[in-house]
């Protein structure tokens, strides 16, 4: 646990990772991240096509991890804008989300990412603008709104 982690936030993070089917973080350093996910049939519609929201979530998570790899774990990247282009359907099985920093300042990061299948084919690409917020501030606001 990092200094700002609490049992509640650690539990929420684990629940999110489980919902998204996260297998492992392969790489998270120097403004780059690679995360493996297992797409299941429960994530699909139309005869085995993964619902687009999962694809967005996978790439968004990889881009956020990339930003945190450079800015530090005490920073939470809050998406201001997210654009995803879908090139081919994702199917059940292993997929790899990659994210990297295209450019970053003190409070804003421009991120890029993509999703690949196990054969290395690009299924989707994304770009995002994120506000880099102190994690403690984000968590305090979440606690206050839950009360």
Tokens matching residue 94: 């292993």
Using CB atoms within 10 Å of the CB of residue 95, give its burial: 0 to 12 exposed, 13 to 18 middle, 19+ buried: buried
Give tens-digit pLDDT for 13-71.
Answer: 889 899 999 999 999 999 999 999 999 999 999 889 999 999 999 999 999 999 999 99
Longest CA–CA span in the chain (Å) reads 47
Q: What is the pLDDT of the chain when averaged over all its residues?
A: 92
CA neighbours closer than 13 Å in the CB half-sphere of residue 52: 9
| pLDDT over 80 at 10, yes or no | no
Query: Domain spanning 7-146 has what CATH number?
Result: 3.10.129.10
| pLDDT over 70 at 8, yes or no | no
**Each residue of 43-80: b (16+ CB within 10 Å) or e?**
bbeeeeebeeebbbbbbbbbbbbbbbbbbeeebbbeee
Give tens-digit pLDDT for 86-125.
Answer: 999 999 999 999 999 999 999 999 999 999 999 999 999 9
End-to-end CA, the chain:
24
pTM above 0.85, yes or no: yes
Give tens-digit pLDDT for 117-131.
Answer: 999 999 999 999 999
CA 58 from centre of chain:
5
Return d(Cα 68, Cα 89) in angstroms, integer: 29
Where along the chain do its domains lie?
7-146
Q: What is the per-residue pLDDT for 124? A: 98
């Amino acid at each position: 646990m990092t200094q700002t982690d609490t049992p509640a936030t650690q539990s929420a993070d684990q629940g999110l990772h489980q919902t998204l089917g996260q297998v492992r973080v392969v790489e998270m350093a120097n403004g780059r991240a690679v995360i493996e996910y297992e797409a299941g049939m429960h994530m699909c519609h139309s005869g085995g096509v993964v619902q687009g929201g999962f694809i967005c979530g996978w790439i968004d998570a990889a881009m956020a991890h990339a930003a945190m790899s450079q800015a530090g774990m005490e920073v939470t990247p809050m998406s201001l804008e997210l654009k995803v282009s879908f090139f081919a359907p994702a199917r059940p099985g292993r997929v790899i989300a990659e994210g990297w920093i295209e450019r970053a300042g003190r409070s804003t990061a421009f991120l890029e990412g993509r999703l690949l299948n196990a054969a290395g084919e690009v299924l989707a690409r994304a770009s995002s603008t994120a506000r880099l917020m102190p994690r403690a501030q984000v968590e305090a606001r979440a606690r206050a709104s839950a009360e």
